[in-house]
Amino acid sequence: MEIIIQSTYKQLATIASEIIRDALLKKPDLVLGLATGSTPIGLYKALVRMYKEDGLDFSSVTTFNLDEYVGIPCEHPQSYHTFMANHFFDHVNISMKNRHIPQNTAENHEAFCAAYEEAIARAGGIDIQVLGIGTDGHIGFNEVGSSLASRTRIVTLTESTLVANASHFEGDMSAVPEIAITMGIGTIMEAKQCLLLANGTSKSEAIAKAVEGPITSMVPASILQMHPNTVTIIDESAASDLKEVEYYKRSYANKLKLQSQ
């Protein structure tokens, strides 16, 4: 796993946006896996700036979001449909037909989940999957104990996730939907590249366990150690519990040195 440690949140967002930009310039019909939450907001902001100021073209891009709550309508201010519209989709030229977010109002969830997997496969698979990490080590809504081979499915959120997400529901944990649809860990692991983003001390323990701890379903993000192309981009605070910080910094400095030769 490549670990990139930056001093500010803005820098980590910039690096993530540059990885996506470079991939998009090489492959205009890029398939992006997208995440919600506070972590990727800076990344979306940077990509919107690239669209508006540099003419980065998203017209052939296809997107698949990781997850969505079940039990609130798409138009709910805290739905991930609303989040994506506000932070990204309303500001770039990704065509409506190419945007996919798990459907929180599907009548038959099982059939919907199977169809979501089929749509990802039909699009040729995900080229770059953006991931945040929960304080409990979850990726998407794959909570502790998720099968490391799981596919898109209905899940129940853990108390730690409900507590963390209550801040978006005026601090009212009982207002956070307990059930969600999430891409599975097996689905995520099939992405050609994963970008794991984290900032702040609240994520340092989860990052240390995910990057340097044993691979276990009790820390779902730890499976990324088995992914052939995961780049973990974090700030100093999120890196503060890692043991090998100096080594990661030296490795990244050497990579930049080689690239500039």
As measured in angstroms, the least distance from the Cβ of 198 to ligand PGA is 8
Which residues, numbered 154-193, are part of the site for ligand PGA (CB under 6 A)? none
CA–CA distances in Å: residue 104 to residues 74, 109, 147, 159, 204: 7, 9, 22, 20, 31
Selected binder of ligand PGA within 33, 42, 102, 132 (CB under 6 A): 132
Q: Indicate the residue among 56 and 142 with the shorter CB distance to ligand PGA.
A: 142
Q: Indicate the residue among 37 and 184 with the shorter CB distance to ligand PGA.
A: 37
As measured in angstroms, the least distance from the Cβ of 66 to ligand PGA is 8
Q: Catalytic pick from 81, 87, 100, 138?
A: 138
| DSSP letters for 77-98 | TTSHHHHHHHHTGGGS---GGG
**Residue 133 found at the interface with ligand PGA (CB under 6 A):** yes
Q: Catalytic pick from 117, 127, 136, 235?
A: 136
Q: Euclidean distance between the first and final Cα of the chain, in Å? A: 23
Selected binder of ligand PGA within 7, 8, 38, 105 (CB under 6 A): 38
As measured in angstroms, the least distance from the Cβ of 161 to ligand PGA is 7
**Residue 39 found at the interface with ligand PGA (CB under 6 A):** yes
70 close to 104: Cβ distance less than 8 angstroms: yes
Q: How many residues bind ligand PGA (CB under 6 A)?
A: 7
Residues 6+ apart with CB under 8 A from 171: none
Q: Tell me which residue has tokens 């090998």.
A: 244
Q: Indicate if 136 belongs to the active site.
A: yes
Q: Indicate if 212 belongs to the active site.
A: no
Shortest CA distance to 10 belongs to which of 48, 42, 47, 53? 42
Q: Indicate the residue among 47 and 56 with the shorter CB distance to ligand PGA.
A: 47
In three-state secondary structure terms, 199 is coil
Q: Indicate if 143 belongs to the active site.
A: yes
Q: Indicate if 29 belongs to the active site.
A: no
* From 114-122, 132-140, 216-224, 225-233, span contacting ligand PGA (CB under 6 A): 132-140
As measured in angstroms, the least distance from the Cβ of 138 to ligand PGA is 6
**Residue 147 found at the interface with ligand PGA (CB under 6 A):** no
| DSSP letters for 101-163 | ---TT-S-HHHHHHHHHHHHHHTT--SEEEE---TT--BTTB-TT--TT--SEEEEPPHHHHH
Q: Catalytic pick from 67, 68, 117, 127?
A: 67
Q: Indicate the residue among 39 and 193 with the shorter CB distance to ligand PGA.
A: 39
What dihedral angle (degrees, nearest 10) is formed by the CA atoms of 62, 39, 148, 178?
-100
CA distance 40 to 114: 27
Selected binder of ligand PGA within 42, 134, 184, 220 (CB under 6 A): 134
* Residues involved in catalysis: 67, 136, 138, 143
Residues in touch with ligand PGA (CB under 6 A): 37-39, 132-134, 138
